[in-house]
Amino acid sequence: MYSLIPHIVNGLTLGLLFALIALGFTLIVGVMEVINLAHGAFFALGAYFALATIGGSWFAGTEFGIWWSSLSPGARYASGLIFGPLCAAGAGMILELCLRPTYGKAPLYGLLLTFGAALVIEELIRLVWGTGEQSLSVPQAINGAFLMGGLIFSKYKFYAAAFSILAIFLVWLFLEKTPYGAIIKAGSHDSEMVRALGFDLGKLRLAVFAFGAALAGLAGVIMAPIWGLRPHIGIDVVIPAFLIIVVGGVGSFWGAVAAAMLVGLAVGITGAYAAAWSMLSMYILLILVVGFRARGLFGRKSALEN
Amino acid sequence: MISLSDIPARGGSPFTPPMFVFLLALATAPFWLEAVGLYSYLGIEITIWILYAMGFNLLFGYAGLHSFGHGAYLGVGAYAFGLFQNHVGVSLWGGLLAAVLAATIAGAAVALFVAHRRGIYFALLTIAFGQVFWFCAIKLRWLTGGEDGLLGIPRPDLVIGPLRVSLQENTSLHWFSAAILGLAMLGLWRLVNAPFGRVLQAIRQNEMRARFAGYDVWRIKWLVFTLSASVAGLAGGLFAMAQESAYPDVMSLHQSGLIVMMILVGGGLVSFWGPVLGVLVYFIARDIIGGITETWLLWFGLMFVVMVMVRPEGAAGLAHVVRARFARAPVKTPVSAPAERSA
């Protein structure tokens, strides 16, 4: 039982990161009623742009590049942490503009368009950063391992978990305690009424898409040092994300967080007994949950069921 | 927007002019493929994918059940064919039968779980099941050979009574696959114009109304999913023969998404012939754009995105609109709002 603790810690960390990805996903699903299959691509874009920022290879040789490489790794990492998600948000806004013709049609078209977009972004990543696996370096302070109770833990995983908790808390605060959050929540409840009250639905959708994509990008920057970076990481990530949304129930904030923890734990604990099969456990979890509760753990009725 | 039911089907006719053109093109392909700068293997590949796409469109276009994990059944068929050759005996009919049976069983089992779902939940569940099959194909190393897959699958001779034909040559395999595709096409055409096909469309347009009309919707959805998986299995068996191997890549979400893209591009939502057009566009794009640039998927993806934005009915829908213009008849504007919601 004692030896299981690192696996549980791993699982919880994974779950928190999954929650971060899934929150952006559920926001977009809630407000736009679009299953955004390109969400994983935003995750990848965030991570790759952070990689470019931290490495600074794009402006190597210029004066700015020399000044940039003289900065401390910590400062460069921090700017990557900001710039990566911002770029993902930009890509998200472009995608939202492309999605406009599909509003009011069957949800299938949004799904298909974002699938195509995911393919395009993945190919663009291949074009710009190459097909090989890359790694994102982190500052010394959060690198390495430490001992606790006779067990070795990676420092970075604790940092990632703490960062995710903070981010989830901030998102919750934003949604619950600010007027902007109120509009977003109202938009996911009844977008027609929001428009009738005089809010610009177009801007709201653009903002929500940017926000959701930024969350995915942020998760990408945090996750990249653990998982490594490859062009098809988007597909690897988008599946757990919407699996979590379905298990948690579409449009439910705490449903997504709870399901993400559940999925993380399932993957972590299966990893202890049968490492090769760990990723399969989440599909089985999905089939079990949805087999018995059609709308997931905390789901409400959604237009997407039609 | 137009949908399948807005295009008048020539109901009772079991054989139509487009079928003749299609079968003629298919049968003569080995003679002109190389003359137009392509290669004979492409003919086999396109034939097999058309078979797969047509079976898939029964589910996707006609019944409006948007499966995103259909590559699994193609893969199951391919593996079953290979395993039969390796462990039971080298036999064409036996292998194909095994492929169809395995895919049917897999499809029927999955359909038990997904048949009472609709819309996005259906799509998500099919993705999950598709991933389970894909994952198993990679991890059950002792059975499937892991990531490499089954290699060296033979192409058994075609035996009909006293007749024995070798399928080692690409041309002979092409004609064999084309014959199977022709039969399958006739069967599918018959099926979609039969009352069964009408009920499928009724389910797509309004499931609840179909249920109120007295149809056992659950059973029909189960049946169409299983049937579509069987056709995919048959295509998988042929695919294993064509490739002389079976590997997990065809079961990935990526590949399952590509077949959906093909159907959409071709216009499977509005026409029986949509899947054919879609598969042709995909493979021609792959070989022509792929010959110019390695990033052909980027351009195909962009084309797809633009198409979903401006003309989601695909090539067949476009052809329909163009034909309507030429006939100087106003393009029929749909009055069926429910069809649009779920089409």
Answer yes or no: do B312 and A277 touch at CB < 8 A.
no
Q: How far is residue B112 from each of residues B100, B116, B196, B219, measured CA to CA in Å? A: 18, 8, 20, 9
Q: Which pLDDT score, from 0 to 100, does residue A217 have?
A: 93
Residue A305 has its nearest CB partner, among B119, B136, B257, at B119
Among the ranges A61-70, A78-87, A285-294, which has the highest mean pLDDT value? A78-87
Residue B222 and residue B232: Cα distance in Å, rounded? 15
Q: Which pLDDT score, from 0 to 100, does residue A235 have?
A: 82
pTM: 0.85
Which residue type occupies B102? A
Residue B125 and residue A249: Cα distance in Å, rounded? 14
Q: Is the pLDDT of residue A21 over 90?
A: no
Q: Which pLDDT score, from 0 to 100, does residue B178 have?
A: 94
Q: Which pLDDT score, from 0 to 100, does residue B339 have?
A: 40
Residues of chain A with C-beta less than 8 angstroms from the C-beta of B129: 283, 287
The mean pLDDT of A209-224, rounded to a whole number, is 91
pLDDT tens column, A228-271:
888 888 888 888 887 888 888 877 788 889 999 999 888 888 88
Residues of chain A with C-beta less than 8 angstroms from the C-beta of B305: 98, 113, 116-117, 120
Residues of chain A with C-beta less than 8 angstroms from the C-beta of B261: 112, 115-116
Element (H, E) at A145: strand A145-148
The mean pLDDT of A92-117, rounded to a whole number, is 86
Q: Which pLDDT score, from 0 to 100, does residue B220 have?
A: 94
Find the closest chain A residue to B112 by CA distance. Answer: A291
Answer yes or no: do A279 and B135 touch at CB < 8 A.
yes
Residues of chain A with C-beta less than 8 angstroms from the C-beta of B264: 112
Q: Which pLDDT score, from 0 to 100, does residue B341 have?
A: 39
Helices (H) and strands (E) in chain B, counts: 15, 4
Q: What is the CATH number of domain A2-305?
A: 1.10.3470
Residues 167-196, chain A, touching B (beta carbon < 8 A): none
Q: Which pLDDT score, from 0 to 100, does residue B338 have?
A: 38
CA angle, corner A298, sides to A295 and A301, nearest 5?
45
Residue A126 and residue A115: Cα distance in Å, rounded? 17
Residue B38 and residue B22: Cα distance in Å, rounded? 18
Report residues of chain B scoring pLDDT below 70: 1-12, 328-343
Residues of chain A with C-beta less than 8 angstroms from the C-beta of B300: 119
Q: Is the pLDDT of residue A288 over 80?
A: yes
Q: Which pLDDT score, from 0 to 100, does residue A192 have?
A: 80
Residue B18 and residue A75: Cα distance in Å, rounded? 66
The mean pLDDT of A288-296, rounded to a whole number, is 77
If one counts every other C-beta atom within 10 angstroms of the C-beta of residue A110, the result is 24
- Nearest residue to B340 via CA among B64, B154, B96: B64
In the numeric block, which tokens belong to residue B124? 């998500």
Find the closest chain B residue to A240 by CA distance. Answer: B128
Q: Does A287 touch chain B (CB under 8 A)?
A: yes
Taking the CA of residue A55 and the nearest CA in chain B, the distance in Å comes to 25
Answer yes or no: do B253 and A119 touch at CB < 8 A.
no
Answer yes or no: do B66 and A108 touch at CB < 8 A.
yes
ipTM of model over 0.90: no
Q: Does A301 touch chain B (CB under 8 A)?
A: no
- H helices of chain A, in order, are 5-32, 39-55, 63-70, 73-99, 107-129, 155-177, 179-189, 191-196, 201-227, 233-248, 253-273, 280-292
SS3 of B136-171: the string is: HHHHCHHHHCCCCCEECCCCCCEEECCEEECCCCHH
DSSP-assigned beta bridge partners for residue A285: none
Residues of chain B with C-beta less than 8 angstroms from the C-beta of A235: 253-254
The answer to whether residues A235 and B131 touch, using CB atoms and an 8 Å cutoff, is: no
Answer yes or no: do B295 and A235 touch at CB < 8 A.
no
Residues 215-254, chain A, touching B (beta carbon < 8 A): 232, 235, 239, 242-243, 246, 250
Find the closest chain B residue to A236 by CA distance. Answer: B253
Residue B30 and residue B42: Cα distance in Å, rounded? 10
Q: Which pLDDT score, from 0 to 100, does residue A301 have?
A: 61
The residue among B121, B126, B255 with the most chain A CBs within 10 A of its CB, best to mutate, is: B121
Q: Is A116 exposed, middle or buried (0-12, 13-18, 19+ CB in 10 A)?
A: buried
At which residue do the structure tokens 């080298």 appear? Answer: B90
Residues of chain A with C-beta less than 8 angstroms from the C-beta of B254: 232, 235
Q: Which pLDDT score, from 0 to 100, does residue B6 have?
A: 52
Question: What confidence category does residue A148 fall into, taking pLDDT thresholds of 50, 70 and 90?
Answer: confident
Residue A20 and residue A88: Cα distance in Å, rounded? 14
CA angle, corner B142, sides to B140 and B144, nearest 5?
60
The residue among B1, B308, B309, B342 with the most chain A CBs within 10 A of its CB, best to mutate, is: B308
Q: Which pLDDT score, from 0 to 100, does residue B104 have?
A: 97
Residue A225 and residue A160: Cα distance in Å, rounded? 10
Residue B78 and residue B98: Cα distance in Å, rounded? 10
Q: Which pLDDT score, from 0 to 100, does residue B5 have?
A: 54
Answer yes or no: do A287 and B129 touch at CB < 8 A.
yes
Q: Is the pLDDT of residue A81 over 60?
A: yes
Answer yes or no: do A287 and B118 touch at CB < 8 A.
no
The mean pLDDT of A158-171, rounded to a whole number, is 89
